Amino acid sequence: MFLIFLKISIQKILKRGEILWVHDIRENICIDYLSATFSYIDADAKDDPSSPKSYSLFNERVLQIIELCGFKPDTAFKEKNTFYGYKDRYTFGEHIFIQLGGPVNAEGFNTVQLLLQGRGCRKFEEMNGDWHVLLKQLHEYRSSIKELHFAFDLFHNDYFSLDDLLAKVLSRQWTSFSQTIETQIREHRDGTVLKKSFYIGSIQSETCINFYDKKAQKTQEAKKEGKSYLDYAWVDTWFRIELRMKGERAKKVASLLLIQGMDDFAHFASGVLKKSLEFKTASGVEKMRDRNPWGKWKKFLRNAESVDITKQYDIETTLSKKEKWIGRSAANSLKLMWLKRLAITDSPESGENLFIKDIRRMINDKDEILTQKELDMLNDSLEKEYGMKRMKKQEVLEMLKNI
């Protein structure tokens, strides 16, 4: 009977949007925090005299983000207080914030902040939000990813308990990016634990790992907000390992998620955590880094391969740059081929005209329509192959306008 209540309680939490990305009803991995800033105005429009130099209300860029989060602008609630020096703060649903009137960026425009916290991330997913689509849009806005958290939830002690991890941390049976430990353990007068939380790494650093009793946190929040906490009471165990990333590290992790996609998110997140922290066996050689990995930690991570964020980011971005270069080279070749065809044909077929238009749309997005190098290559080819006189740039551009 107890197992039935436990299952129902966890399912209620799932249904309410507390957690998502579930691979096992007893375990869960998810994105639990995202903070990003972007320019209120597109930098490419900075010379447009009609573009306002300061923020007003929701413009097209902000409206696009609101829509991707699954909301309509008229559902926004304007808060009295703001964070981080912004002038206006709007709440959507619960724990999803958009702030306007932030610090002026290099282009001279105010910045906008998108902030999804905890339950806001779950609400985003409940509204059928797509993390990959959101990250792609933020990338197109040349956003700065300020902070990103991965949460690993456990509803059982089969691998280890929170106390097991605390003992490991305090005895320093681990290797990590930092040797800093911070602990926060508070007890009620009757001896019950109100809060148990400990960290590896400084909270202010680019990376830190927080271990805490999630059930205790949610129960306290429910009581404070006057909500029912009975669902949590039936859950015997719920603790969380939270990987918090800021600055350059958050930016690189977000970029990798954008490049690799979200299909294998759980494996990727486990690999990032493994690289950040490795628990070791209690006995073995003197140097901790040379000891064998702790079997229970390895099992928890499902034998995921370590993901070195810096190396992986460098590899992926280098490959991406090469792919773009190859794409540009191929597109330029097509451009020259069809310009040459157009130059030597008095009345090209309509089908070819349509193809040329498609090529133009494909290869000239925000680029100069004809570079000097391309003009020289075109004239060299026309002169050598067809004995034609060299064309001026304006003549080629006029020819394209008539398509």
Question: Do 165 and 273 contact (CB within 8 A), yes or no?
Answer: no
Same domain (yes/no): 142, 18: yes
Same domain (yes/no): 277, 324: no
Percent with pLDDT over 70 in the chain: 70
Antiparallel, parallel or unpaired: β 96-100 and 193-200: unpaired
Cα–Cα dist 210/199, whole Å: 5
Same domain (yes/no): 327, 303: no
- The pLDDT of residue 341: 58
Sign of torsion, CA 187 188 191 193? Answer: negative
Under the banding of pLDDT at 50, 70 and 90, the label for residue 276 is very high
In a domain, 177, yes or no: yes
Domain range for 253 is 2-307
- The pLDDT of residue 307: 92
- The pLDDT of residue 246: 96
Domain C-terminal end among 307, 342, 361: 307
Q: Is the pLDDT of residue 224 over 90?
A: no
In a domain, 313, yes or no: no
Same domain (yes/no): 17, 115: yes
- The pLDDT of residue 396: 72
Same domain (yes/no): 226, 371: no
Burial class (CB in 10 A: 0-12, 13-18, 19+), 324: exposed
The pTM is what? 0.73
Q: Which residue would you say has higher pLDDT here, 29 or 338?
A: 29
Same domain (yes/no): 325, 272: no
The mean predicted confidence, pLDDT, of the chain is 79
Same domain (yes/no): 188, 66: yes
- The pLDDT of residue 351: 45
In a domain, 139, yes or no: yes
Same domain (yes/no): 275, 371: no
- The pLDDT of residue 350: 47
In a domain, 44, yes or no: yes
Same domain (yes/no): 299, 329: no
Quote the number of domains for the chain: 2
Q: Is the pLDDT of residue 165 over 70?
A: yes
Under the banding of pLDDT at 50, 70 and 90, the label for residue 220 is confident
